[in-house]
Structure 1
Amino acid sequence: MLGDRIAELTTTETGRRVLATVEGLHPAVEVSMTGTGQVLGTPVREFATYESELRPDGSLFGEGQGVGMSEKGEAYSWHGSGIGHFTGGGAVSWRGTIFFESSADTFLRLNDVVALFEFDNDPQGSGRAVLYEWK
């Protein structure tokens, strides 16, 4: 069951590169980005990288990881994966799961959370992520 909204971030791509073409047919691309927003109601800044592969049906499969930090220096990390679809003009809409890890009191709750995310980014590299707890 979809639970509480636990995070919302706006993101900006800081880099993009082609890693390889899998079997000569499916390009794999790496994207790096920064983001700001809130996690569990705490303002944060994030840095993340994900890789995506174009699949034969035109969808994307991606995996990524990131690190976030509060203004007080409390940190967390995450790893996730998802499925993406092009929505027109180069924009992509992603849906998937994220798992967190943290030893900071502010973010300890994240250690027991499976998060479901919606991440949409435009052709210019600006995006918005919303995460919900999966109960």
Structure 2
Amino acid sequence: MLGDLIGEEQGQVTAQRVVPSEHGLPPTVESSFQASGTLLGVTVTDLGTYVGTLRHDGTLYGEGTGVIMSPDGATASWRGTGVGVFTEGGSISWRGSIVYLSDAPAFAGLRGVAGAFEWETNASGKANGKLWAWR
């Protein structure tokens, strides 16, 4: 069941590249981003890269990895997966799940929790997202 809102971020796509595919499969688009916000009430910077693959039904399948850092040096890594849909004006709306790994006391509340996220990226690369605990 979805629980409390535990994180919010705003950011920017910092780089993109098209990765060619083999065997007639659709190409993938690799995107890196930097975001800032809060996670479990802790101010964080989030650096990540995800790969989106266009599917035959017009949606995107995505997978990503990244790291979060707090100003006092607490860190966590993450891995996520989701589905994206194109919206008006070249924006992409993502929904998915994310899991974290951290030994930092500041992020102890992430242990044993999957997150459910919403992530919106507009055509200029501006992004914002929300994360809920999924217990």
How far, CA to CA, are the matches of 2:71 and 2:65 in structure 1?
20
Aligned to 1:55: 55
- Name the aligned partner's letter for residue 48 of structure 2: A
Aligned to 1:106: 106
How far, CA to CA, are the matches of 2:37 and 2:67 in structure 1?
13
How far, CA to CA, are the matches of 1:101 and 1:5 in structure 2?
19
How far, CA to CA, are the matches of 2:56 and 2:2 in structure 1?
30
State the Cα deviation string for residues 4-26 of structure 1 (Å, max 9, x = none): 11110001011000011354351
Aligned to 2:18: 18
Where do residues 77-88 of structure 1 align in structure 2 (5 Å cutoff)? 77-88=77-88
Name the SS of the counterpart of 1:56 in structure 2: coil
Aligned to 2:6: 6
Name the SS of the counterpart of 1:106 in structure 2: helix
1:44 positional shift: 0.5
TM-score (norm 2): 0.96
Structure 1 residue ranges without an equivalent (≥5): none
State the Cα deviation string for residues 69-112 of structure 1 (Å, max 9, x = none): 00101001100000000002210000000000001000012121
1:27 positional shift: 2.1
How far, CA to CA, are the matches of 1:122 and 1:34 in structure 2?
15
Matched residues, number? 135
Confirm whether residue 73 of structure 1 aligns to residue 73 of structure 2: yes
Confirm whether residue 31 of structure 1 aligns to residue 31 of structure 2: yes
How far, CA to CA, are the matches of 2:84 and 2:23 in structure 1?
20
Q: Is the 8 A contact 1:22 1:28 kept in 2?
A: no
Structure 2 residue ranges without an equivalent (≥5): none
The runs of at least 4 consecutive aligned structure 1 residues that moved more than 4 Å come to none
How far, CA to CA, are the matches of 1:23 and 1:61 in structure 2?
18
- Name the aligned partner's letter for residue 31 of structure 1: S
Percent identical residues: 43
